[in-house]
Amino acid sequence: MSAKASGRVAGKKALITGAAGGLGQAMAWMMAREGAKVAVTDMNRAGAQALADAINAEIPGAAFAWAHDVTDEAEWIAVIDQAVAAMGGLSILVNNAGIGGELVWSEQDTLENWRKVQAVNLESIMLGCKHAMPHLRASGAASIVNISSVAGLAAAPGMGAYNATKAAVWMYSKTIALEAAKAGWNVRSNSVHPVFIKTPILDPFIAMAGGNEDVAHEKLARGIPLKRIGEPDDVAYCVLYLASDESKFVTGAEFKIDGGMLAQ
């Protein structure tokens, strides 16, 4: 993050899933530097703890870490309770954890792959929203940010399970937004739809390019008007805006972080 921090989420308390690396890591650093306390969770316990330790070395007491299988309802309940106790509440939920699944055409897909992608990419978001909601509404002004994908808005062959889950995240985010608004809770819900971003989720594409990262990135960028793939900070800045009170009148919306791809 190059811009000078200005306390855009000062006093907020955020829970970010899938935060040991990639997008989640960028979001955690950005929110902590902008004044929030952050609870980072991941299946990779060591990675999440290393991130929290690094943040705390720069901003003492700003970060907490837990191991977290986002497909396990009991773990959601435990992690949320621990995060609320550690931070003194919860006002931001970023459902970031996700997997790409197998790159395979539907005729060759397996129920095992389909169910795994559904569990991580979609069911986890339902569990997070369900169990975080009482704490979010108690905060008085809260934000849910669900990480979807451009694949939830425009399909691609060989990614059936991924496309389906990301489309469902898009619509589920709107459902949560409308339910919260109808109930009179000050809890906003929005979805973010990145295109190809430099994170490990691109590893299958790099493997298809013979392990050459530059070649893979160049191929992926061909359909993007800005002629590059994204950086984690490109997404993190959007999430920061949605987490902050700057977006207090924004709910039920989708944000495309795609270099203009879906404008074509």
Q: Tell me the residue ranges of DSSP E strands in the chain.
A: 13-16, 37-42, 63-67, 92-95, 142-147, 187-194, 254-257
212 pLDDT above the threshold of 70? yes
- What are the catalytic residues? 162
Residue 3 confidence class, pLDDT cut points 50, 70, 90 = low
Residue ranges and CATH numbers for the domains of the chain are 13-196+232-257 (3.40.50.720)
- pLDDT digits 0-9 by tens, 70-87: 999 999 999 999 999 999
Confidence of residue 109 (pLDDT cuts 50, 70, 90): very high
Position 115 confidence tier, pLDDT thresholds 50, 70, 90: very high
* Rounded Cα gap, residues 113 and 170, in angstroms: 21
Mean pLDDT over 199-203 rounds to 84
203 versus 89: which is more confidently predicted?
A: 89
pLDDT of residue 1: 47
For the entire predicted model, the pTM comes to 0.94
Average pLDDT over all residues of the chain: 96
Label residue 199 by pLDDT band (50, 70, 90).
confident
pLDDT for residue 4 = 66
Amino acid letter for position 160: G
Report whether pLDDT(136) > 50.
Answer: yes
Alpha-helical regions (H) of 94-159:
111-118, 124-138
